[in-house]
Structure 1
Amino acid sequence: MADSGLDVTLTGEVPRDAGPAVQRAAYRTVQEALTNVRKHAPGSTVEVAFRRCGSAVEVTVANTVGLHPALGLPSARHGLIGLRERAEQLGGALSHGPTPDGGYLLHVRLPLHRAVHGP
Protein backbone atom coordinates (compact mmCIF):
# COMPACT_ATOMS: atom_id res chain seq x y z
CA MET A 1 0.00 0.00 0.00
CA ALA A 2 2.98 2.27 0.47
CA ASP A 3 3.52 2.32 -3.31
CA SER A 4 -0.11 3.18 -4.11
CA GLY A 5 0.08 6.89 -3.31
CA LEU A 6 -2.89 6.46 -0.97
CA ASP A 7 -3.05 7.35 2.72
CA VAL A 8 -4.07 3.92 4.05
CA THR A 9 -4.50 2.67 7.60
CA LEU A 10 -4.56 -1.10 8.08
CA THR A 11 -6.14 -2.82 11.09
CA GLY A 12 -6.04 -6.55 11.72
CA GLU A 13 -5.23 -9.37 9.33
CA VAL A 14 -6.84 -12.35 7.69
CA PRO A 15 -6.99 -15.10 10.33
CA ARG A 16 -4.25 -17.70 9.85
CA ASP A 17 -6.79 -20.52 9.79
CA ALA A 18 -8.69 -19.07 6.82
CA GLY A 19 -8.77 -21.39 3.84
CA PRO A 20 -6.69 -20.51 0.74
CA ALA A 21 -9.74 -19.48 -1.32
CA VAL A 22 -10.85 -17.15 1.48
CA GLN A 23 -7.37 -15.65 1.76
CA ARG A 24 -7.34 -14.97 -1.99
CA ALA A 25 -10.83 -13.47 -1.87
CA ALA A 26 -9.85 -11.14 0.99
CA TYR A 27 -6.70 -10.06 -0.86
CA ARG A 28 -8.60 -9.52 -4.10
CA THR A 29 -11.28 -7.50 -2.31
CA VAL A 30 -8.74 -5.10 -0.84
CA GLN A 31 -6.88 -4.87 -4.14
CA GLU A 32 -10.03 -3.98 -6.09
CA ALA A 33 -11.25 -1.53 -3.44
CA LEU A 34 -7.93 0.33 -3.40
CA THR A 35 -7.90 0.45 -7.20
CA ASN A 36 -11.38 1.99 -7.11
CA VAL A 37 -10.38 4.54 -4.48
CA ARG A 38 -7.38 5.56 -6.52
CA LYS A 39 -9.55 6.01 -9.64
CA HIS A 40 -12.65 7.59 -8.13
CA ALA A 41 -11.45 9.39 -4.97
CA PRO A 42 -7.81 10.44 -5.37
CA GLY A 43 -6.41 12.09 -2.26
CA SER A 44 -8.86 10.42 0.10
CA THR A 45 -7.95 8.69 3.34
CA VAL A 46 -8.59 4.94 3.39
CA GLU A 47 -9.14 2.53 6.26
CA VAL A 48 -8.76 -1.21 5.62
CA ALA A 49 -9.88 -3.46 8.45
CA PHE A 50 -9.92 -7.23 8.94
CA ARG A 51 -11.99 -8.63 11.79
CA ARG A 52 -12.68 -12.19 12.81
CA CYS A 53 -16.34 -12.78 13.62
CA GLY A 54 -16.78 -16.33 14.90
CA SER A 55 -16.26 -18.62 11.92
CA ALA A 56 -16.03 -15.74 9.43
CA VAL A 57 -13.75 -12.88 8.54
CA GLU A 58 -15.04 -9.42 7.71
CA VAL A 59 -13.09 -7.10 5.45
CA THR A 60 -14.02 -3.43 5.34
CA VAL A 61 -12.50 -0.77 3.10
CA ALA A 62 -13.74 2.77 3.76
CA ASN A 63 -12.56 5.98 2.16
CA THR A 64 -13.27 9.65 2.69
CA VAL A 65 -14.20 12.09 -0.04
CA GLY A 66 -11.44 12.49 -2.61
CA LEU A 67 -9.46 15.72 -2.59
CA HIS A 68 -8.82 15.64 -6.33
CA PRO A 69 -11.00 15.01 -9.40
CA ALA A 70 -11.59 11.39 -10.36
CA LEU A 71 -9.08 9.98 -12.82
CA GLY A 72 -10.31 9.39 -16.35
CA LEU A 73 -9.02 5.82 -16.48
CA PRO A 74 -10.75 3.11 -18.51
CA SER A 75 -13.00 0.75 -16.61
CA ALA A 76 -14.89 -2.37 -17.60
CA ARG A 77 -17.07 -1.88 -14.49
CA HIS A 78 -16.82 -5.56 -13.62
CA GLY A 79 -14.64 -5.40 -10.50
CA LEU A 80 -17.39 -5.16 -7.90
CA ILE A 81 -19.55 -7.66 -9.76
CA GLY A 82 -16.68 -10.15 -9.70
CA LEU A 83 -16.05 -9.55 -6.00
CA ARG A 84 -19.70 -10.19 -5.18
CA GLU A 85 -19.73 -13.40 -7.22
CA ARG A 86 -16.55 -14.63 -5.53
CA ALA A 87 -17.94 -13.87 -2.07
CA GLU A 88 -21.21 -15.66 -2.84
CA GLN A 89 -19.39 -18.71 -4.25
CA LEU A 90 -17.60 -18.98 -0.90
CA GLY A 91 -20.84 -18.65 1.06
CA GLY A 92 -20.25 -15.01 1.95
CA ALA A 93 -21.75 -11.66 1.07
CA LEU A 94 -20.53 -8.29 -0.20
CA SER A 95 -22.11 -4.88 0.22
CA HIS A 96 -20.93 -1.46 -0.88
CA GLY A 97 -22.14 2.09 -1.31
CA PRO A 98 -21.68 5.74 -0.51
CA THR A 99 -21.42 6.91 3.09
CA PRO A 100 -23.39 9.86 4.51
CA ASP A 101 -20.23 12.02 4.56
CA GLY A 102 -19.57 11.51 0.83
CA GLY A 103 -17.05 8.69 1.11
CA TYR A 104 -17.51 5.06 0.15
CA LEU A 105 -17.67 1.78 2.07
CA LEU A 106 -17.08 -1.76 0.86
CA HIS A 107 -17.72 -4.66 3.24
CA VAL A 108 -17.36 -8.39 2.67
CA ARG A 109 -18.05 -11.23 5.07
CA LEU A 110 -16.50 -14.60 4.23
CA PRO A 111 -16.65 -17.91 6.08
CA LEU A 112 -13.12 -18.88 7.13
CA HIS A 113 -13.36 -22.14 5.25
CA ARG A 114 -14.52 -22.50 1.71
CA ALA A 115 -18.17 -23.45 1.32
CA VAL A 116 -18.68 -23.64 -2.44
CA HIS A 117 -22.19 -22.87 -3.69
CA GLY A 118 -23.50 -23.34 -7.19
CA PRO A 119 -22.39 -25.62 -10.02
Structure 2
Amino acid sequence: VRQAVLQVDAAQRRIVVGPRSAGSDRVRLREVNWLLDPPIGPLRCTVKLRAREAAHGATVSGAEHGAAVVTLDTPALAAAGQACVLYAGDRVLGGGFIDGRPIVEHTALPAGDVAQR
Protein backbone atom coordinates (compact mmCIF):
# COMPACT_ATOMS: atom_id res chain seq x y z
CA VAL A 1 0.00 0.00 0.00
CA ARG A 2 1.43 3.36 -1.05
CA GLN A 3 1.75 5.90 1.75
CA ALA A 4 1.50 9.70 1.71
CA VAL A 5 2.46 12.51 4.07
CA LEU A 6 -0.64 13.43 6.12
CA GLN A 7 0.96 15.84 8.60
CA VAL A 8 4.21 17.75 9.01
CA ASP A 9 5.10 18.92 12.53
CA ALA A 10 8.33 20.89 12.10
CA ALA A 11 8.45 21.94 15.76
CA GLN A 12 8.47 18.31 16.89
CA ARG A 13 10.52 17.19 13.86
CA ARG A 14 7.81 14.66 13.05
CA ILE A 15 6.11 13.53 9.84
CA VAL A 16 2.91 11.47 9.93
CA VAL A 17 2.25 9.13 7.00
CA GLY A 18 -0.84 7.17 6.10
CA PRO A 19 -2.77 5.67 3.21
CA ARG A 20 -3.00 7.71 0.02
CA SER A 21 -6.75 7.08 0.06
CA ALA A 22 -7.26 9.35 3.11
CA GLY A 23 -8.70 12.64 1.92
CA SER A 24 -10.61 15.67 3.12
CA ASP A 25 -12.92 18.11 1.35
CA ARG A 26 -12.20 21.06 3.67
CA VAL A 27 -8.97 22.39 5.11
CA ARG A 28 -8.19 25.29 7.38
CA LEU A 29 -5.29 27.61 6.44
CA ARG A 30 -3.15 29.64 8.82
CA GLU A 31 -0.63 32.41 8.15
CA VAL A 32 -2.46 33.29 4.94
CA ASN A 33 -0.71 35.87 2.78
CA TRP A 34 -2.77 37.55 0.03
CA LEU A 35 -1.16 39.22 -2.98
CA LEU A 36 -4.34 41.31 -3.31
CA ASP A 37 -6.97 42.46 -0.83
CA PRO A 38 -8.47 39.47 1.04
CA PRO A 39 -11.87 38.50 -0.41
CA ILE A 40 -14.91 39.78 1.45
CA GLY A 41 -17.06 36.77 0.58
CA PRO A 42 -16.47 33.28 -0.80
CA LEU A 43 -13.91 33.15 -3.62
CA ARG A 44 -13.83 30.52 -6.39
CA CYS A 45 -10.30 29.57 -7.37
CA THR A 46 -8.00 26.62 -7.83
CA VAL A 47 -5.57 25.43 -5.17
CA LYS A 48 -2.44 23.33 -5.12
CA LEU A 49 -2.03 21.24 -1.98
CA ARG A 50 1.06 19.38 -3.22
CA ALA A 51 3.69 20.70 -5.62
CA ARG A 52 3.61 17.70 -7.96
CA GLU A 53 -0.14 17.23 -8.16
CA ALA A 54 -2.75 18.95 -10.30
CA ALA A 55 -4.68 21.95 -9.01
CA HIS A 56 -8.10 21.37 -7.42
CA GLY A 57 -11.23 23.47 -7.87
CA ALA A 58 -12.14 25.12 -4.57
CA THR A 59 -13.98 27.87 -2.73
CA VAL A 60 -12.12 29.95 -0.14
CA SER A 61 -14.12 31.53 2.69
CA GLY A 62 -13.59 33.06 6.11
CA ALA A 63 -10.52 34.94 4.88
CA GLU A 64 -9.74 37.14 7.86
CA HIS A 65 -7.11 37.54 10.56
CA GLY A 66 -4.55 35.53 8.60
CA ALA A 67 -6.78 32.45 8.30
CA ALA A 68 -9.12 30.94 5.71
CA VAL A 69 -11.14 27.80 5.02
CA VAL A 70 -10.75 25.99 1.68
CA THR A 71 -13.65 23.80 0.53
CA LEU A 72 -12.46 21.48 -2.24
CA ASP A 73 -14.74 20.35 -5.07
CA THR A 74 -13.52 16.77 -4.46
CA PRO A 75 -11.68 15.27 -1.47
CA ALA A 76 -7.88 15.38 -1.67
CA LEU A 77 -4.84 14.76 0.51
CA ALA A 78 -4.01 17.81 2.60
CA ALA A 79 -1.04 17.41 4.94
CA ALA A 80 -0.95 19.70 7.96
CA GLY A 81 2.08 21.98 7.85
CA GLN A 82 2.39 21.99 4.06
CA ALA A 83 1.72 25.03 1.88
CA CYS A 84 -1.53 25.61 0.01
CA VAL A 85 -1.30 28.04 -2.93
CA LEU A 86 -4.41 29.78 -4.31
CA TYR A 87 -4.70 30.57 -8.03
CA ALA A 88 -6.93 32.38 -10.53
CA GLY A 89 -5.79 30.73 -13.75
CA ASP A 90 -1.99 31.11 -13.79
CA ARG A 91 -2.08 34.07 -11.38
CA VAL A 92 -1.14 33.44 -7.75
CA LEU A 93 -3.69 35.03 -5.40
CA GLY A 94 -1.98 34.04 -2.16
CA GLY A 95 -1.46 31.08 0.07
CA GLY A 96 -1.04 29.77 3.57
CA PHE A 97 -0.11 26.72 5.57
CA ILE A 98 -2.50 23.83 6.08
CA ASP A 99 -3.58 23.80 9.73
CA GLY A 100 -3.55 20.49 11.59
CA ARG A 101 -6.94 21.06 13.21
CA PRO A 102 -9.47 19.03 11.20
CA ILE A 103 -12.71 20.60 10.07
CA VAL A 104 -14.23 17.30 8.94
CA GLU A 105 -13.07 13.73 9.28
CA HIS A 106 -11.08 12.18 6.46
CA THR A 107 -13.14 10.55 3.76
CA ALA A 108 -12.08 7.97 1.23
CA LEU A 109 -11.14 9.25 -2.21
CA PRO A 110 -12.93 7.64 -5.15
CA ALA A 111 -10.90 4.84 -6.76
CA GLY A 112 -8.80 6.16 -9.62
CA ASP A 113 -8.32 9.62 -8.06
CA VAL A 114 -5.10 8.55 -6.40
CA ALA A 115 -2.11 9.03 -8.68
CA GLN A 116 0.22 6.05 -8.82
CA ARG A 117 3.90 6.96 -8.63
Q: TM-score of the superposition, structure 1-length normalised? A: 0.24
Larger Rg computed on CA atoms: 1
Write 1 or 2 for the structure with the bigger share of strand. 2
TM-score, normalised relative to structure 2:
0.25
Q: Which of the pair has the greater relative contact order for Cα pairs under 8 Å at 6+ separation? A: 2
